[in-house]
Amino acid sequence: MGIPRLIASATTVLLLTGCGGGLSPPVEELVGSSSPAPASGDQQPPVAAVRPADVRANELGVVPVLMYHRIIAKPSSVYDRTPADFRAELERLARTDYVPITTADFVTGKIDIPAGKHPVVLTFDDGDPSTFALGQDGEPAKGTAVRILQEVAAANPGFRPVASFYINADPFGGGAAGREALAWLHGHGFEIGNHTYGHTNLSSVSDGEARQDIARGDEAIRQALPGYRPTTLALPFGARSGTDGLVLRGTGYDYAGALLVGANPAPSPYSVDFDPEAIPRIRSQGADGEEAKYGSTVWLDELEADPGGRYTSDGDPKVISYPEGTGSPAERFAARAVAY
Ligand SMILES: [Zn+2]
């Protein structure tokens, strides 16, 4: 199978510069063991609306969580993509049956997409104005990531214009424009997540400072969006604090998931392999150049070459369908999981 092979090759130590910093160590094993779903007492197992085998459903399969930073005409780092490249990547995702969902829906297991489709999570770090700004007409400005996403969604029915934005202090240029940008995104189904207030490397500060910067970022989002609470965090530089659980829960914040920087598809949230504290992402990137084998173009090729390993929906959000022998459901989802 393509996926484990490529993961095994990704154990090289990676050194990168720029916002993302060093890629995180790859997840060792995404597909899981071969034990079937545990029996759920004397309850009747749920039944999927379509026959899972007909759509080759695998809801324990892996999910690409794509990571973007700036969408600019003249890239100056491996974290930048041009508007044309970004559009082409979205068109590829639409053409190959992916449906965007937010990180919040992904980590909480609310994956409600049609049978035979694959979830993809689009994430944007740092609140850069090239990803979102409002034009004079109050609509997303031409050439921004959100405008391009809207255009691709309009041309591809079923491809949802949703994404997750991870912000620091003063996002999208800051001030009134920044607050208006956040309100527009929140009002249009986009997720606003925390990227810490000061873009702090949480592995290089004390636990107290780490907690403080996470809580401060959370508070800034809640102040900008009254009534809203962020539920996910993207770790600056992909760097975790040394203390288990610190990034998910503390005074002033409570998250269902924390995102890393690299370097492979994420386990299904229903799988025993899913770790909410360390969800891997894939950097959006072409097929050539530095670290391209950990980038989105190569990974999307790999997922297409090994369709059995990726998450494919059975169309019924209540039932978790998977081919017998391909993975193990997490205990909290075992009652909903059905092997076929
Ligand atoms: Zn960042």
Q: Do the bridges between strand 164-167 and strand 257-263 make them parallel or antiparallel, or are there none, so unpaired?
A: unpaired
- Ligand 1 centroid–CA 162 distance in Å is 20
Ligand 1 centre from 35 Cα, in Å?
38
Question: Which residues make Cβ contacts (< 8 Å) with residue 234, sequence separation at least 6?
Answer: 123, 125, 166, 193, 194, 195, 258, 259
Quick check: 102 and 190 in contact, CB under 8 A?
A: yes
- pLDDT band with cut points at 50, 70 and 90 for residue 289: confident
Amino acid occupying residue 79: Y
Task: Give the distance (Å) from ligand 1 centre to CA of residue 338.
Answer: 39
d(C-alpha 222, C-alpha 182), whole Å: 11
Centre of ligand 1 to C-alpha 115, Å, is: 34
User: What is the distance in A from the centroid of ligand 1 to the CA of 47?
Assistant: 42
Q: 31: Cβ–Cβ under 8 A, 6 or more apart, which residues?
A: 1, 3, 4, 62, 273, 309, 326, 327
- Mean local confidence (pLDDT), 113-124: 98
Q: State the average pLDDT over residues 280-293.
A: 93
* Other C-beta atoms lying within 10 Å of the C-beta of residue 191: 24
Distance 214 CA to ligand 1 centre (A): 13
Greater model confidence, 49 or 124:
124
Q: Would you state the pLDDT for residue 291? A: 87
Q: How far is the CA of 96 from the centre of ligand 1 (A)?
A: 29
CA of 217 to the centre of ligand 1 (A): 13
Smallest Cα–Cα separation from 162: which of 135, 195, 138, 193? 193
Beta bridge partners of 62: 310
126-183 residue pLDDT tens = 999 999 999 999 999 999 999 999 999 999 999 999 999 999 999 999 999 999 999 9
The pLDDT, as a whole number, for residue 39 is 47
Retrieve residue 313's tokens. 């929906």
Cα–ligand 1 centroid distance for 235 (angstroms): 8
Expressed in angstroms and rounded, the spacing between residue 310 Cα and the centre of ligand 1 is 27
Strands 253-254 and 249-250: antiparallel
CA of 12 to the centre of ligand 1 (A): 23
Output the CA 77–ligand 1 centroid distance in Å.
Answer: 13
Q: Is the pLDDT of residue 224 over 80?
A: yes
Q: Residue 28 — very low, low, confident or very high, per pLDDT cuts 50/70/90?
A: very low
Between the CA of 127 and the centroid of ligand 1 the distance, in Å, is: 9
CA 142 to mean position of chain CA atoms? 24
pLDDT computed for residue 199 by the predictor: 98
Report how far ligand 1's centroid is from the alpha carbon of 199 (Å): 6
In the reported structure, the alpha carbon of residue 158 is separated from the centroid of ligand 1 by a whole-number distance in angstroms of 30
Task: Tell me the C-alpha distance between 113 and 115, whole Å.
Answer: 7
- Closest by CA position to 158, among listed 301, 315, 285, 317: 315
Please tell me the distance between residue 68's alpha carbon and the centre of ligand 1 in angstroms: 10
Ligand 1 centroid vs 130 CA: distance in angstroms? 14
Predicted confidence at residue 33, as pLDDT, reads 40
Residue 29 Cα to ligand 1 middle (Å):
26
Give residue 9's pLDDT. Answer: 36
Mean pLDDT of the chain: 89
Q: What is the pLDDT of residues 233-275, one digit of tens each?
A: 999 999 988 899 999 999 999 999 999 998 999 999 999 999 9
CATH superfamily of 2-10+62-333: Glycoside hydrolase/deacetylase (3.20.20.370)
Residue ranges covered by each domain of the chain: 2-10+62-333
Beta bridge partners of 130: none
Which of 16-30, 35-49, 244-258 holds the top average pLDDT? 244-258
How many angstroms separate the alpha carbon of residue 153 from the centre of ligand 1?
26
Is residue 37 within 8 Å of 334, Cβ to Cβ? yes
Ligand 1 mean position, distance from CA 18 (Å): 9
Task: Give the distance (Å) from ligand 1 centre to CA of residue 17.
Answer: 12
Strand positions, DSSP E, 129-273: 164-167, 191-194, 232-234, 249-250, 253-254, 257-263
Q: From the CA of 236, how far away is ligand 1's center (Å)? A: 5
Query: What are the pLDDT digits (tens) for 72-104?
Result: 999 999 999 999 999 999 999 999 999 999 999
Distance of CA 40 from the midpoint of ligand 1 (Å) = 42
